[in-house]
Structure 1
């Protein structure tokens, strides 16, 4: 009935550009970030010959791409070509073709996980050949590896500077951890394998997640002090880390414990970067920095700031500070090409540095004409306020967007320089942060790898495209994408988005059988909070139950009563005394029944002496955090928070039990 969404639309088209999108100009130099790299085939003689007479016609592009191994449908290509034809002459120059090729290559997801054969590259890249390793089939056990040799696997690569920076960042932020002891035994950033080896047992990842989002993991659930040969306990830690990363919104599609235990570089680095990015951006909001209202533009409200990605917010902040200085250059629009000459950085540092800094910061780096030496002098200025954040002059001059984003985020977190007069403080009742429910749903969507990344539910779902993608995950081929607008005409934008939202409501009714009484397409388009949340909750519920249905190989949907019956049968067989009556039962608030069920699924996993029986709110919260951590440790993909259990939130408790049921179905049976 339909093709996939990705076959129709570049997911970021017509959305606000992310701050680290530097356009095609810097795509070639930064393409290795994608870590799905083939040799530079576009420079082969066969391709070079095509451009001997200059530009090539649109009609020739498809054949050349297919020759280079890029599979793309003609109808898809027609839409993409328009964005790369800068002269609008229906021809592509060699440079335009390279930009197109690199873009398509970066978006080409191999859809598998990988083993690796790593060798260091002189040009600053760890490059490695891969072969298929782990099936992502929901029916497969997470601890089972099905190996299939694939001699033609693509090259994957990791930028050496990113690996080095990440190792140094981890060393700094976990230096005082009593178990890891990184202050006395740091990760060797010059060892190509050093960082990956330290991640193999899952402990470092769990600790780093708790740095990014405190109290995500109950450290009592982490296996410590076991031998490297104890693969079972290592795998449990990795399950805990991966499922916890999923719970805080990391994209962990196709990442399995085996990938991390074997140190697959691009997957380990991808996960580490997501965790660090969450850490860097966790306080870039109005709650922690009320002065962000100074960045509002005419006609905007504080809630409009929630709609911006962290990259967009940081770029606004960067340019706001530059306007306060003597900077005469162009506005900074990315974390790559616009900052390579260190000029904007030099002015930024001088304007945000505390007035009493000793020795004071200067603009002396601008007197240096060599960009690499200028970058080093600028970084020495940042050292004066202890904000260098492990950056090197090469990171600046090469315009590495990740590392420069991290540098700017660290500057903001340390010296926001947004002093707000009392009269400009947001009025009570003004929305300044997302609710717990909104954050849970956003993390759920982002963890599935849907594009574009969701920053704020109501604005990012208002064109219907993310909702429709979710439908296709729950029930493949639900959406007829030929009827959906993937890009929008400025004049017809509202009509086109409304069309998508109307289809979102129609598909919700049939075939998904959601309860959508009172919900219209216009409610999604206009960001009606109550109705949008109601729809997203049903999507989350349907997704969870669809996994159960697939695991059970059932032809009929799984009902709430089926989950309750399964739980009680499981508890009875394990000789537990607790009984589940419904998902509203207030007795669930102490997490005892949930822990009993986890122990029934994996006997001996719960350390009952750690559970608290006083019944105080603090005791219940501790138990809930332990229960969620242990559930994730045995493979349950739980998005609920401890507060949801303590407050007996019926909806989220349903997902907890459904995820435990799914985990039980994948646990190897003796």
Structure 2
């Protein structure tokens, strides 16, 4: 895409801005216009706000655009941006976007190729660099480690995708089969693209919301996009074990009238805040933490927390920076390999404070409960090792989160769907416009309203011709796991089929038989002898057919020396792991596990093959 090159101040405004001011405005505009097409849309505005640590609803983003958008095209062009800045200078209003521009202006600007300007936080760049040095500094495949902290090496080292894939495996072991990675020191663009595709699709598969990020964005080293992706992976790495399954002592955080299931609904961030306040309360402090920003600036709450956990003593008198320095030293003494700096605490950096809190929790939560006390809680009723944490539940949850639906992130698939609002949002994403939102109780206060929403979801599912035999709204509201999994599977399948249908001739939905026919024809055209009768074909278990299909889509992607006959259970799993990573590096966004292939889970195999077809058509 060619960049926009029309940064001239409108004639009627020119006298109001000096050349230096014009240059600063140009830099500000380019920082927001991420793809350089001369338009700032809501997605680009959201990307900048995400990097600033601000969360905003789609309605708020659109309202911010509308305040500046004079021609009504839902984007902000350069002339409109200049008019906004002119109005502010002359006291004619204070558009919300202008406040964001001012905040972004305080961040670090770097001019890249072609004069493009990227805006990002120096503090976060340095913190993430330090964290990666700590975690991957001795990895033999990463020859440029450790990186210099106060430098642009982080972005340079991300350009081949290798370090990103390594980081994803730290967040969730086995997400990337390293045999599928290109590891040469001097990679060509194709090899880098494969690694970046693998990184992006593996990140989606572990729950990252990767929007408007392509392989070339990462190869070009775009700072704002790289930092956004790295932060999501680091956050998952640090918070993945903050759950009842991994830390049953969290029952101590239950509030009056709550059940264990209420804890399951909480995000890791909410659990961390409860944990922090639990220790503040036990210390007899009147202070409470409601966020990871301003509430932590003076370090007093950190001091009390660490004293409760390790009896290290409270920090003494001094300015906020001195106290923050002591807090970090106390955390390091207890074994925390922190990447936060004193100024990050003083400035209230929400991301880095969240990461620091998670590191403290993971090192020593300070939660102590006896076996006898734990026995009083009905963990068996939660099915933590059964339906509540099945592969299907997790895969569907990751798929939903990958859709990047505004205001929706699923922590507990069954609990988070009970009010009907979430499942309606998913339906509207899969079939845009199908939901009439005036019929929806957006904040249902009682079970009647929740069931009403769920009944509407069932009605729409029937309208989409889903199999809904003996399923009612009450089943969703009451968390009937089997039925909920069935509905979400059909939504996931329809979403993939819709994408595939849009890429193929005709307007009829692609059928399962057509997907099988495509796969067999593709493998045959690639000179391979394998084929399948259906998605239950037992030969799928060896992984060979799926690898033959990957090789037929992109012959360079599969190394034949890695593929085995799949004659033993271990060999089958190895082939399956390799097939998933190869599919992702080709560009297929697949959501399944190696076990799904070995056990021939027909639903998941169907999605794998359909996603490969999507990738093949997109490549063409």
Q: TM-score, normalised by structure 1?
A: 0.75
- The one of 165, 170, 177 equivalent to 2:127 is 165
Deviation at 1:600, TM superposition (A): 1.0
Per-residue CA deviations over 1:326-383 (Å, capped at 9, x if unaligned) read: x423221111122111111111111212xxxxxx7221x2x31411211112222222
Higher relative contact order (CA 8 A, sep 6+): 1
Per-residue CA deviations over 1:144-200 (Å, capped at 9, x if unaligned) read: xxxxx9x9x9x8632211111011111111122111146xx3222211x32111100
Contact 2:296/2:348 (8 A) holds in 1: yes
Match status 1:552 vs 2:504 = yes
Partner of 1:462: 418
Contact 2:280/2:286 (8 A) holds in 1: no
Return the alpha-carbon distance in structure 2 between the equivalents of residues 350 and 465 of structure 1: 42
Partner of 1:409: 358
**Secondary structure of 1:608's aligned partner:** coil
- The one of 79, 103, 109 equivalent to 1:127 is 109
Partner of 1:503: 456
Question: Residues 329 and 606 of structure 1: is their aligned pair in 2 closer, same or farther, counting only changes over 3 Å?
Answer: same
Partner of 1:44: none
**Secondary structure of 1:157's aligned partner:** strand
Return the alpha-carbon distance in structure 1 between the equivalents of residues 70 and 159 of structure 2: 34
Contact 2:328/2:338 (8 A) holds in 1: no
Partner of 1:224: 183
Return the alpha-carbon distance in structure 2 between the equivalents of residues 559 and 67 of structure 1: 45
Return the alpha-carbon distance in structure 2 between the equivalents of residues 313 and 103 of structure 1: 34
Q: How many residues align?
A: 541
Return the alpha-carbon distance in structure 2 between the equivalents of residues 378 and 37 of structure 1: 23
Q: TM-score, normalised by structure 2?
A: 0.81
- The one of 441, 445, 448 equivalent to 1:485 is 441
Per-residue CA deviations over 1:401-426 (Å, capped at 9, x if unaligned) read: 11111000001111022232111145
- For residues 151-230 of structure 1, the aligned pairs below 5 Å read 157-181=119-143, 185-191=145-151, 193-228=152-187, 230=188
Deviation at 1:203, TM superposition (A): 0.4
Partner of 2:611: 659
Per-residue CA deviations over 1:460-483 (Å, capped at 9, x if unaligned) read: 222323322222332222222232
Per-residue CA deviations over 1:90-114 (Å, capped at 9, x if unaligned) read: xxxxxxx98x9379979xxxxxxxx
Partner of 1:390: 339
Question: Residues 421 and 71 of structure 1: is their aligned pair in 2 closer, same or farther, counting only changes over 3 Å?
Answer: farther
- For residues 158-557 of structure 1, the aligned pairs below 5 Å read 158-181=120-143, 185-191=145-151, 193-228=152-187, 230-325=188-283, 327-353=284-310, 361-363=312-314, 365=315, 367-387=316-336, 389-423=338-372, 424-425=374-375, 427=378, 429-431=380-382, 432=384, 434-450=389-405, 451-488=407-444, 490=445, 493-510=446-463, 512-557=464-509
Return the alpha-carbon distance in structure 2 between the equivalents of residues 513 and 428 of structure 1: 38
Per-residue CA deviations over 1:91-140 (Å, capped at 9, x if unaligned) read: xxxxxx98x9379979xxxxxxxxxxxxxx994x1236899xxxxxxxxx
Return the alpha-carbon distance in structure 1 between the equivalents of residues 296 and 465 of structure 2: 51
Match status 1:607 vs 2:589 = no
Per-residue CA deviations over 1:282-319 (Å, capped at 9, x if unaligned) read: 11112221211222223333332211000111111111
**Secondary structure of 1:610's aligned partner:** coil
**Secondary structure of 1:430's aligned partner:** helix
Residue ranges of structure 2 left out of the alignment (5+ in a row): 1-45, 55-61, 74-92
Deviation at 1:569, TM superposition (A): 0.9
Per-residue CA deviations over 1:434-472 (Å, capped at 9, x if unaligned) read: 222111111001111013211111222223233222223
Question: Residues 632 and 480 of structure 1: is their aligned pair in 2 closer, same or farther, counting only changes over 3 Å?
Answer: same
- For residues 48-197 of structure 1, the aligned pairs below 5 Å read 66-69=66-69, 101=96, 123=106, 125-127=107-109, 157-181=119-143, 185-191=145-151, 193-197=152-156
Deviation at 1:35, TM superposition (A): 3.9
Return the alpha-carbon distance in structure 2 between the equivalents of residues 104 and 496 of structure 1: 38
